[in-house]
Amino acid sequence: MTYVDYAAWKTTPITGEPHLSIVIPAYNEEERIVPTIGAIAAHVAGMGFPWELIIADDGSRDQTAALVEGLELVNLRLLRAEKNGGKGSAVRRGVLAAQGRYILFDDADNSTPIEELGKLLPALEQQGYDIAVGSRAASGSEEAHRTLLRRTLSGGLRLMVRYLFRIGVRDTQCGFKLFTRTAAHRLYAAQTIDGFSFDLEILYLAARLGYRVAEVPVSWIDAPGSKVDTTREIQRFLRDLLRIKWNDLRGVYARA
């Protein structure tokens, strides 16, 4: 990338269909959102295609939204929520507003570096997959700074998901997923879970609807300042496992 690429993306509105939309959910991310936007823009602006960035603010009570607006990037859209609705809610709003041929959901902490995008795109552009999932469990992936407790808990949850849901994806929770627009809009329109477990529901739906999913190994760094309460989120995850199964039994997903 050159500065010319970045300056052009910053000041010149793209015309026509974006090749890529990047959706970032954000809740009280004033310390991290600007560096994350900078890292993404610096890399993607030099990839040679038109793209848009969407920040789906989830009712932040700090300066997150003001900082995003202050950047004055013409190809960045800020979606505000009046109140906190949950990460899944923020991602859904961003995805359904996205116009790109491909839609990437990426976390605000940049735990999966944006440079890993180049590993996911070929699965959709060249190999015909509908979804590419960045994975910390696939062979060849790399994890840094993750605590033993979090690795152990994640491993246990992955086993539960593998044997109870049989969706063929080992790491459902990594916040780095690429979709075709058709698949993304259909899946997120049918989403019912607004909290931490929305990723699992989306991939369960994808399996039910017959979408082709590639699991791609990525590098991942446990960024400092995580807002995840591990104990509480595990409790919610277990509750949502039951909710997803109950939804399926009631025919909620069949209507999708």
Q: Does residue 130 contact residue 120 with C-beta atoms inside 8 Å?
A: no
Of 143, 10, 4, 115, give the one whose Cα is nearest residue 73. 10
The pLDDT > 70 percentage for the chain reads: 89
Q: Is residue 180 part of a domain?
A: yes
Output the pTM of the full model.
0.91
Does residue 65 register a pLDDT over 70?
Answer: yes
Summarised one tens digit per residue, pLDDT across range 163-205 is 777 788 888 888 999 999 999 999 999 999 998 889 999 999 9
DSSP string covering 89-158: HHHHHHHHH--SSEEEEE-TT--S-GGGHHHHHHHHHTT--SEEEEESSSTT-EEES--HHHHHHHHHHH
**181 falls within a domain:** yes
* Residue 203: CATH number of its domain: 3.90.550.10
Whether residue 130 is contained in a domain is answered as yes
- Residue 254 belongs to some domain of the structure: no
* 256 part of a folded domain: no
List the Cα angle 146/29/121 in 5-degree steps: 65
Q: How confident is the model at residue 139 (pLDDT cuts 50, 70, 90)?
A: confident
Range of the domain at 232: 3-249
Tell me if 128 sits within 8 A of 205, measured CB to CB. no
243 close to 200: Cβ distance less than 8 angstroms = no
Q: Measure the CA dihedral 126/130/131/137, to 10°.
A: -70
Number of domains present in the structure of the chain: 1
Residue 163 token pair = 């044997």
